[in-house]
Amino acid sequence: MIAARIVKKDRADLVFTALADATRREVIRALSREGPSTATGLAASLPVTRQAVTKHLSALADAGLVTATRRGREKLYQLSPRPLTDAVSWMADLGARWDARLAALRDHVSAPRRRR
């Protein structure tokens, strides 16, 4: 467990964690609505401080959900939806695996020669 904690988090893990926060989802919506923006610009349209927005953007950037480019003294953030697609596809795979497992479970339990 300890070893696992210090290893770099899986990308999907970071994505889901980043998206677990309601404010960060708001930040994503704002970026989607307004296009590339600075933390100052985003703070103007969100009910949080610029400092808070900066922290959220930083978490989103770690998850690969936004990319930052420097513009003067500020950074310009924009959405990078690829990790989101990866994460969603991971969930879709998971659902498909359980569909197959449950069908196999039904067949196993229903099998006439089952013993236990």
Name the residue with tokens 């999907």. Answer: 12
By CB under 8 A, residue 14 contacts another protein:
yes
Size of the site for another protein (CB under 8 A): 49
Binding mask 34-63 for another protein (x = CB under 8 A): --------------x---x--xx-xx--xx
Question: What is the Cα–Cα distance from 11 to 62, expressed in whole angstroms?
Answer: 9
By CB under 8 A, residue 31 contacts another protein:
no
By CB under 8 A, residue 2 contacts another protein:
no
By CB under 8 A, residue 29 contacts another protein:
no
Buried b (16+ CB within 10 A) or exposed e, 47-84: eeebeebbebbebbbebbbbebeeeeeebbbebbeebb
Look up residue 54 and give its two tokens.
């900066």
Q: Do residues 49 and 57 make contact, with C-beta atoms less than 8 angstroms apart?
A: no
Interacting residues with another protein (CB under 8 A)? 1, 3-10, 12-14, 16-21, 23-24, 48, 52, 55-56, 58-59, 62-63, 87-88, 90-91, 94-95, 97-110, 116
